[in-house]
């Protein structure tokens, strides 16, 4: 081989061939890739802690996307193996950093596996049966004209203790019962249901992690009973529930009637008495975040306590000159946050806000930067350590996206802010302060709305187009008037002087509701968007993380990934037909985009509403498919859907004939026999298929039919399936 030749493996390449392989355009492309890689590694080293926590969350996401339930031994072996490998690459920084990321990802995967195993509790069978439960009411939620009782179960007739669910949810008529009461009632109940639509909200998975083992409805009036002695933890929890409910009723009795339900919800988390009209107006105006006790409420109350205590201690000259009073005020802030956590019900969203508040106050005590991307990441990972399943929830994604975006924007703003002489001279100008305050509120509303709006559209299929206007108009009053007055009212309750502050709070909330009603009444207040799948949500989340954590080139890559997710989102095709779990048929009219052809206008109401929302429509007119020339007789109907013949058969006797010239056969009444299944060459769906796999979506594309199930085999392999 000459010196002018190069050998790669068994292949000898001459310089002329190398020039043909590595063209100038390819050199530029590879140099850009190398530059992007170097920027990523530098960004990783600069924010190693944050990126490791992102990897931890990615491991949790990988667990929930896993097709089967992983082996817990292998899940815990992988982090140990990577930890050992890490020491072998200390001399290679790039490889060391990527192995470190893999280590945290495997740790997140293992934590999700462990949490799932530790949360496991008995679940009732899928078949509806009659049960008689005895327990105490943990919470009550309104559901139209009915109520949902969340009951902590103590005993179930004819069920052994190892078969008894920890909690159940019962739909019941409103009775004079309140949280904390002990009850006994007869129900018809089964396991929590799976997703109502393909790719929709999985209520069974949510119930699994809350240890709710059954959903059903009462068939008898509850009776008050005396329970046997409860464990200490349950007794303490029950007393706290009773105290919280009593506080809610005290607030509602002293507050202005128009806003009493809202005031109780904001101060105690009891949303059972919020009028539906107010709830709808707030949601359509983009102000629904006010109803969820989260970082905003925790920050206002705990931050307000911190400010007032700091001001009081600062007025004590000898102490303030000798000690840093902010640290004492931070302790008071932690106590206030803890109290609010307990009286508000300690939901997962409130726990997230509490963790963030405590981290901020601890940073003040330790003389560290209180608000930073690192503190946001630390709060997120603590939340994920406690509740790995919250990663998939809209609340977690919206809460931390808003916080991370605000911190990133204000950090960027502060880095480029110029403190010149002119700004110092105008510091005392009241008009300049008002202008700066308005700019701050506007920027906060815009950034938080933009950050949460994408995730809201992904999960809820709608976007409050005028949410920025509503937040700019309502948030100053809510922040400066309503919540401080509510905090003062809670402090005045022991002295019986809460009526005045509650009136002030109610006046502020009256204005907020007025703004919400005015904005929501506008024609274009709410825009509906078609649903996204898990791939789109994953890409969107990854791009958002790059935007918040990365250096300049990584932020550009984040923008590209977000745009790519939007392209995927726009390319998602809506299903042409829906078959519910109880064999109710609905499909889109090929000629009218907002007309849904159905077998019967009643039935499958919840599933059809979600099906319409997923298509990006507010509502759809329901018409019988017999009006479009469908061939129907006593045995069933034949439908032509975009050139494909679909046979709907009522009895097994009509299956053989329908299979002769149909692309899809649906048997709605009974299960088909083995002979019918064997001779039918068309795709076939019967009651057995629907019972096992849940609702089905049918797509007509590429000259064929594609059927997707709401409860596929891989979901049934998981503990909540």
Is the model's pLDDT at 22 over the cut of 60? no
pLDDT digit string, tens, across residues 128-179: 999 999 999 999 888 778 899 999 999 999 898 899 999 999 999 888 899 9
Mean pLDDT of 598-602: 85
Question: pLDDT at position 426, please?
Answer: 46
Q: What are phi and psi of 50, to 5 degrees?
A: -65, -45
> What does the DSSP assignment read for 77-96?
HHHHHHHHHHGGGTT-HHHH
Contact 105, 56 (CB under 8 A): yes
Helix (H) or strand (E) holding 128: none
pLDDT digit string, tens, across residues 453-509: 888 888 888 888 888 888 888 888 888 889 889 989 988 998 889 999 999 999 999
Of the ranges 209-213, 411-415, 617-621, 656-660, which one carries the lowest mean pLDDT score?
A: 411-415
Question: pLDDT at position 133, please?
Answer: 94
Largest CA distance in the chain: 99
Question: pLDDT at position 697, please?
Answer: 93
Q: DSSP E strands: which ranges in 18-85?
A: none
pLDDT digit string, tens, across residues 499-544: 999 999 999 999 999 999 999 988 878 888 888 888 899 999 989 9
Measured CA to CA, the distance from residue 583 to residue 599 in angstroms comes to 10
Question: pLDDT at position 8, please?
Answer: 45
Measured CA to CA, the distance from residue 499 to residue 465 in angstroms comes to 37
Of 504, 704, 695, give the one whose Cα is nearest residue 585.
Answer: 695
pLDDT confidence tier of residue 656, bands split at 50, 70 and 90:
confident
Of 38 and 602, the one with more pLDDT: 602
Question: pLDDT at position 59, please?
Answer: 95
Measured CA to CA, the distance from residue 143 to residue 80 in angstroms comes to 48
Tokens 């009732």 found at: 124
Is the model's pLDDT at 227 over the cut of 50? yes
Strand partners, 168: 151
Measured CA to CA, the distance from residue 112 to residue 388 in angstroms comes to 6
Torsion from C-alpha of 81, 83, 87, 89, nearest 10 degrees:
80
Contact 229, 251 (CB under 8 A): no
- Helix 232-254 to helix 260-268 angle, to the nearest 10 degrees? 150
pLDDT digit string, tens, across residues 74-126: 889 999 998 888 877 777 777 878 888 899 999 999 999 999 999 999 999 98
Measured CA to CA, the distance from residue 67 to residue 117 in angstroms comes to 17
To the nearest whole percent, how much of the chain has pLDDT over 90? 31
Mean pLDDT of 370-395: 86
Contact 399, 289 (CB under 8 A): no
What number of CA atoms fall less than 13 Å from residue 71's CA on the CB side?
Answer: 4
To the nearest whole percent, how much of the chain has pLDDT over 70? 89
Is the model's pLDDT at 15 over the cut of 60? no
Where do the domains of the chain lie? 47-119, 129-228, 246-418+430-528, 534-570, 577-604+621-716
Mean pLDDT of 687-709: 89
Contact 244, 219 (CB under 8 A): no
The pTM of this model reads: 0.85
Q: Burial level of 633, CB count in 10 A (0-12/13-18/19+)?
A: exposed
Of 211, 288, 249, give the one whose Cα is nearest residue 720.
Answer: 211
| Tokens describing residue 418 | 């110029």
> What does the DSSP assignment read for 635-650?
SEEEEEETTEEEEEES
Strand partners, 595: 621
Question: pLDDT at position 612, please?
Answer: 92
Contact 357, 299 (CB under 8 A): yes
Q: Burial level of 176, CB count in 10 A (0-12/13-18/19+)?
A: exposed
pLDDT digit string, tens, across residues 341-374: 888 877 777 888 888 888 888 888 888 876 778 8
Question: pLDDT at position 107, please?
Answer: 94
Count other C-beta atoms under 10 Å from residue 710's C-beta.
25
Is the model's pLDDT at 421 over the cut of 50? no
Helix (H) or strand (E) holding 136: strand 129-143
Is the model's pLDDT at 1 over the cut of 70? no
pLDDT digit string, tens, across residues 299-349: 778 888 888 888 888 887 777 777 778 888 889 999 988 988 888 877 777
Cα distances (angstroms) measured from residue 96 to each of 31, 79, 103: 22, 15, 10
Of 555 and 562, the one with more pLDDT: 562
Residues 6+ positions from 721 with CB-CB distance below 8 Å: 194, 204, 711, 715
Strand partners, 143: 146
| Tokens describing residue 462 | 């709608």
What is 129-228's CATH number, 2.40.50.140, 3.40.50.300, 3.40.50.150, 2.60.40.10? 2.40.50.140
Question: pLDDT at position 416, please?
Answer: 60
pLDDT confidence tier of residue 423, bands split at 50, 70 and 90:
very low
Is the model's pLDDT at 577 over the cut of 60? yes
Of 176, 175, 155, 179, give the one whose Cα is nearest residue 165.
Answer: 155
């Amino acid at each position: 081989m000459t010196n002018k030749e190069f050998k790669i493996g068994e292949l000898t390449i001459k310089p002329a061939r190398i020039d043909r392989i590595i063209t100038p355009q390819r050199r530029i492309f590879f140099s850009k890739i190398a530059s992007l890689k170097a920027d990523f590694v530098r960004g990783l080293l600069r924010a190693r802690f944050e990126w490791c926590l992102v990897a931890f969350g990615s491991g949790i996401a990988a667990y929930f996307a896993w097709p089967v339930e992983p082996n817990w031994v292998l899940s815990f072996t992988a982090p140990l193996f990577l930890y050992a490998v890490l020491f072998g690459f200390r001399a290679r920084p790039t490889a060391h950093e990527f192995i470190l990321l893999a280590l945290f990802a495997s740790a997140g995967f293992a934590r999700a596996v462990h949490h799932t195993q530790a949360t496991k509790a008995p679940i009732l069978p899928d078949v509806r049966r009659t049960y008689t439960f005895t327990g105490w009411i943990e919470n009550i939620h309104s559901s139209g004209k009915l109520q949902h009782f969340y009951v902590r179960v103590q005993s179930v007739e004819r069920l052994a203790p190892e078969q008894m669910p920890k909690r159940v949810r019962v739909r019941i008529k409103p009775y004079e019962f309140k949280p904390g009461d002990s009850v006994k009632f007869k129900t018809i109940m089964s396991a929590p249901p799976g997703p109502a639509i393909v790719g929709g909200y999985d209520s069974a998975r949510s119930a699994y992690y809350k240890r709710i083992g059954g959903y059903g409805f009462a068939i008898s009036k509850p009776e008050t009973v005396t329970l046997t002695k409860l464990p200490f933890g349950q007794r303490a929890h029950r007393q706290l529930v009773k105290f919280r409910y009593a506080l809610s009723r005290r607030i509602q009795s002293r507050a202005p009637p128009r806003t009493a339900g809202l005031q109780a919800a904001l101060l105690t988390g009891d949303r059972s008495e919020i009028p539906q009209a107010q709830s709808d107006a707030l949601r359509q105006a983009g102000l629904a975040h006010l109803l969820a006790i989260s970082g905003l409420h925790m920050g206002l109350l705990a931050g307000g306590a911190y400010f007032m205590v700091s001001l009081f201690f600062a007025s004590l000259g000898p102490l303030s000159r000798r000690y840093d009073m902010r640290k004492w005020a931070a302790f008071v802030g932690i106590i206030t946050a803890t109290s609010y956590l307990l009286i508000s019900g300690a939901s997962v969203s409130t726990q997230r806000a509490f963790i963030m508040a405590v981290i901020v106050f601890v940073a003040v005590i330790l003389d560290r930067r209180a608000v930073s991307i690192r503190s946001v990441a630390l709060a997120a990972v603590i939340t994920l350590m406690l509740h790995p399943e919250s990663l998939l929830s809209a609340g977690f994604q919206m809460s931390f996206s808003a916080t991370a975006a605000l911190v990133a924007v204000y950090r960027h703003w502060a880095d480029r802010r110029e403190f010149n002489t002119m700004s110092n001279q105008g510091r005392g100008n009241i008009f300049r302060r008002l202008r700066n305050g308005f700019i701050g509120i506007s920027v906060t509303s815009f950034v938080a709305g933009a950050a949460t709006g994408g995730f809201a559209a992904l999960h809820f299929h709608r976007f409050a187009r005028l949410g920025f206007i509503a937040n700019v108009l309502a948030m100053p009053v809510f922040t400066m008037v309503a919540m401080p007055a509510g905090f003062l009212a809670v402090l005045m309750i022991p002295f019986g002087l809460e009526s005045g502050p509650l009136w002030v709070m109610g006046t502020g909330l009256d204005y907020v509701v007025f703004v919400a009603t005015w904005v929501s009444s506008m024609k274009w207040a709410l825009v509906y968007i078609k649903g996204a799948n898990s791939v789109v949500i994953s890409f969107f989340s990854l791009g958002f993380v790059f935007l918040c954590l990365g250096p300049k080139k990584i932020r550009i890559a984040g923008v590209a990934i977000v745009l790519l997710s939007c392209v995927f989102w726009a390319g998602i095709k809506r299903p042409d037909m829906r078959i519910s779990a109880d064999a109710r048929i609905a499909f889109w009219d090929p000629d009218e985009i907002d007309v849904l052809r159905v077998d019967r206008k009643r039935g499958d109401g919840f599933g059809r509403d979600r099906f319409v929302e997923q298509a990006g429509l507010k509502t759809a007119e329901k018409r019988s498919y017999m009006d479009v020339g469908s061939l129907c007789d006593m045995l069933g109907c034949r439908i032509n859907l975009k050139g494909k013949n679909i046979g709907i058969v009522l009895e097994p006797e009509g299956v053989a004939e329908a299979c002769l010239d149909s692309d899809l056969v649906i048997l709605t009444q009974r299960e088909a026999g083995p002979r019918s299944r064997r001779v039918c060459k068309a795709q076939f769906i019967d009651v057995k298929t629907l019972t096992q796999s849940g609702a089905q979506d049918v797509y007509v594309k590429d000259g064929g039919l594609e059927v997707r199930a709401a409860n596929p085999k891989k979901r049934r392999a998981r503990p909540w399936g």
